[in-house]
Amino acid sequence: METSVELLLRGVKDLISKEELLQKLKSKKSLRIKLGVDPTAPDLHLGHTVILNKLRQFQNLGHTIVFIIGDLTAQIGDPSGQSATRPKLEVEAILANAKTYQNQVFKILDPQKTELRFNSEWLEPLGTKGLLNLSFHYTMQRILERDDFAKRLKEEKPIALAECFYPLLQGYDSVAVKADLELGGTDQRFNLLVGRELQRDFNQEAQVVMTLPLLVGTDGVKKMSKSYGNYIALNESPTQMFGKVMSITDELMYAYYELLTDFNLAEIKTLHPKTAKMQLAGHLTQTYHGSEAAQGARAEFERIFSKKDLPEQIEDFFTPKNKLLLSHLVFESGLAPSKNESKRLIENGGVRVDGIQVASDTEMEIVKPFILQVGRRRFKKINHSHPA
C-alpha cells in the first residue's frame, strides 16, 4: 500500500524541494496549496485534471486548497510555451469562462474545502505605484532568460511588455495568499519559481514548487489539446468519454492511471490490459457523469464494439451541397478538428462510409442518407439539404 507521502509524490516531475515539503508537512497541520488558472477558454479537458487530482489528494489529507482564478492575469495571457503574444481577451469573456471553470473544477475538488479567489482582488489595488515597486524585485535579464522569450528574440518575434509582467503578477498571487506550495504543469516552472523568490523578498517562507507532466492526448504523441483534436473534454457525453478512453494504447493507459487516479499501480498492472482499461474508462466517466451514466456508457460500448452494432442513436448532419469532398465532409460534420486532420484520418484508414473503409479522399455524392464513421466510436448520419 502507498503511504500518503508516496501518493502525493506520485507522478510529480519537479519538486523544489522534497526536504522543504516534508518539513512543512511535519510542522504544519494544514498547508495552503495554491493553483492559479487563467480562464482563457470555456471548457476543461482531462489534461487540466492532472493537477486538480493532485490537489484533491492534498485536500483528502486535510490541507487547504487555494484555487485562484486569474481574472486579471488572463487579460495579459500567460506567455509560457507561447511562440507569440496571446490575443487580448475581453473582461466579459473572461468572467463567462470563469463561471464554467468553477462548475467543472468542483467535479473534482470539494467546494466546502476550497478557498476560491480572484486575483483582481489584490492585483487591482496595487495601482501604478505598487506595480512599479513589484517590478524592482526582478530583472529583465532573468525574464528574458526563459526559453519561450529567448526563442522569440532569436526569431525576431515581438514580446509585449505586458507579458514580462506576467510572472511577477502570478508570483505576487503566492505572496497575497501566503502559499505553502504551488502546483503547475512542467511549462509553469519559471512562473512558480518567481513566486518562490518574491515570497522571500516579502519576508515570507518560500513556497515549495511542484510540477506535473503534461498529459499526452489520445493520439499517444502530442500533449492533450483541443487544437490537436486529441482531447477528452469533461463536458463530453458519457459515451464519448468512455469510448475515447478505450481507444488509447495500453502504455498510455498506465500513464493515465498514474496521473488521473489514486489507484495502486502495482495492483492495476496485475490485471489484464482490457480489464484495466474498462475500469479506467468507467472510473473517469463516473467521476464526471455519475455511476448510472458510466454504466450506460459501458453497456453502449460493449454493444457497439463487442457485437459490432451501430449506436442506437446517431446524430444527423444536413448539408445543402450535392457533392462534397470526403475530407471536407468529415470536418464540416464535426468528426475532425480540421480538413488536414480529416485527410490524415482518411489516408490512415480511419474513415468508413456505410461500414466500408475509404482509402483516399474522394468526392461524395449526397443523394441519399449514409452513415459516416471516424475511428471506432464517432458516427454521423449524412443527409442532403435540411429537415422541413
> What domains appear along the chain, each with residue ranges and CATH number?
4-212 (3.40.50.620), 236-305 (no CATH), 316-384 (3.10.290.10)
**Rounded Cα gap, residues 272 and 189, in angstroms:** 37
307 three-class SS? coil
Give the position of cell 486569474. Answer: 70
Cβ contacts of 36 within 8 Å, gap of 6 or more: 68, 69, 70, 73, 119, 170, 173, 182
Q: For the full predicted model, state whether its pTM sits above 0.75.
A: no
pLDDT in tens, the chain (388 residues): 567 888 899 889 999 999 999 999 999 999 999 999 888 777 789 998 999 999 999 999 999 999 999 999 988 877 766 656 666 777 788 888 888 888 888 989 999 999 999 999 999 999 999 999 999 998 888 888 888 888 888 888 888 888 888 899 999 999 999 999 999 999 889 999 999 999 999 999 999 999 999 999 888 888 888 767 788 988 888 988 998 898 888 889 999 999 999 899 999 999 999 899 999 999 999 999 999 999 999 998 887 766 566 777 788 888 888 888 899 999 999 999 888 888 888 888 888 887 777 777 878 878 777 889 898 778 888 887 654 4
Total residues found in the chain within this entry: 388
